[in-house]
Amino acid sequence: MDFQTRFPTLDREVADVLFTWPPPPETTPTIEEMRAATDFYSERMKEVYKQDMPSDSEYRVEDRMIAVEGGEILVRCLIPTPISGELTRSYPLMVWYHGGGYYLGSIQTDDYFLRKICVNHRIVILNVEYRLAPEFPFPIGLNDAYDSLKWSIENGSSFNISLNQGFLVGGCSAGANYAASVVIRARDDPFFTERQVTGQFLQMPQVLHPDAIIPMEYKTQLLSMSENANAPLLTREDINRSLTTLNVDPNDTRFSVLLAPDHKCLPAVYFQISGADPLRDEGLLYEKILKAAGVPTKLDQYPGFPHAGHYALSSVALAKKLYKDFELGVDWLLKTPKKTSSSVLLSSDRADGRAIKDSSFEGN
């Protein structure tokens, strides 16, 4: 039985490519084996896109080890090379968190494409290698993500960063979860009062634990976890494994950001959502919730495309469209005005991830 028969909503071109793949292993790979496979595919993607990469003279790369609680993490800094006639020698900033189910991936995961974004959009990119589960369970990776966000502010002058031109935070899948979470935390942190995040890029985000307690009105809008439970590339079983590995409380709103008590006064959000993805509906619902809270949003959907398919299915039309839309999404975020806040929330409950009601944040 081919993929099109098993998943009739799957894109035809995607199904044809998947049909040529060997069957999955009969035994579940170990985390070490999966990490090795992820590293292999990251190197393969560099080769696939090598001809589209900017020349080394168009940007510079600086790898920094930054201090975090209990250790250090790697941050790769991509900085455009100033060009003749450029009106400014300072640039907007994007902090990026890779995907990988919280236990896979590295700065190599998106390295090839982020270099292209850096040059094409004249933007400094900090690619963060947060620590992974199970060695570092929740919230260590999330705290690494937040510490790197603060570090980018404290060290921005060495990278020619101008936050007035834009301060974006983004990620894919697990990285998008961390991006969405740190943006909410930064909104409520006095440290960011005069240097607020201006945009968030959420690519196929996980924003809700599947075992979280949710309002009744959400249940009819969250069907993809069952509809796409056995979808190619990411299954419900895969999600369960990643969350068990992460060891996170389903109702912790630092993880289940869809359930955060206040979504007002967050920066503009660009979403990329795949149709054949168990995470599809939570992404769509989160976009609705943010829009209802007055947050500017832009949403691109890819019907019949599996979760993170742009990595393994880079040759298909939907993957090429997703990459093109990625660049348009960055442009949109840089051009969308930030809604500012009139006050900063100081609730320690927010930092602990407990749901509280607080209406002191109002949009201007």
pLDDT at 351: 40
Q: In what order do the strands lie in the sheet with 199-203?
A: 59-68, 71-80, 124-129, 93-97, 167-172, 199-203, 268-276, 297-306
How many other CB atoms are there within 10 angstroms of residue 301's CB atom?
14
Kindly state the tokens that stand for 52.
């589209």
Out of 3.40.50.1820, 1.10.3720.10, 3.10.310.70, 3.30.365.10, which CATH number does the structure's domain 64-340 have? 3.40.50.1820
Active site residues: 173, 277, 307
Structure-token match 């607020």, residue found: 196
Residue pair 128/145 in contact by the 8 Å Cβ criterion: yes
How many other CB atoms are there within 10 angstroms of residue 335's CB atom?
10
Q: What is the pTM of this model?
A: 0.91
Question: Which are the contacts of 219, defined by CB distance < 8 A and separation ≥ 6?
Answer: none
pLDDT at 46: 81
Taking the C-alpha atoms of residue 23 and residue 167, their distance in angstroms, rounded to an integer, is: 43
The stretches in the chain having pLDDT less than 70 are 1-6, 87, 338-364
Which amino acid is located at 235 in the chain? T
Taking the C-alpha atoms of residue 97 and residue 108, their distance in angstroms, rounded to an integer, is: 11
pLDDT at 113: 95
pLDDT at 338: 63
Could you give the residue ranges of the DSSP H alpha helices within 84-171? 111-120, 140-154
Q: Mind listing the pLDDT tens digit for each residue in 65-102?
A: 999 999 999 999 999 999 887 767 899 999 999 999 99
Taking the C-alpha atoms of residue 356 and residue 293, their distance in angstroms, rounded to an integer, is: 16
Taking the C-alpha atoms of residue 58 and residue 315, their distance in angstroms, rounded to an integer, is: 26
pLDDT at 363: 31
Which residues in 21-56 are b (16+ Cβ under 10 Å) and which e? eeeeeeeeeebeebbeebeeebeebeeeeeeeeeee
- Indicate the Cα dihedral angle 98, 171, 13, 288, nearest 10°: 150
pLDDT at 89: 83
pLDDT at 3: 62
Residue pair 118/96 in contact by the 8 Å Cβ criterion: no
Taking the C-alpha atoms of residue 335 and residue 165, their distance in angstroms, rounded to an integer, is: 9
Taking the C-alpha atoms of residue 249 and residue 175, their distance in angstroms, rounded to an integer, is: 18
Structure-token match 């983004």, residue found: 170
Q: Mind listing the pLDDT tens digit for each residue in 145-183?
A: 999 999 999 999 999 999 999 999 999 999 999 999 999
Taking the C-alpha atoms of residue 94 and residue 137, their distance in angstroms, rounded to an integer, is: 26
Could you give the residue ranges of the DSSP H alpha helices within the chain? 3-6, 12-19, 31-48, 111-120, 140-154, 174-187, 216-219, 224-227, 236-246, 280-292, 309-312, 317-335, 348-352
Which amino acid is located at 275 in the chain? G
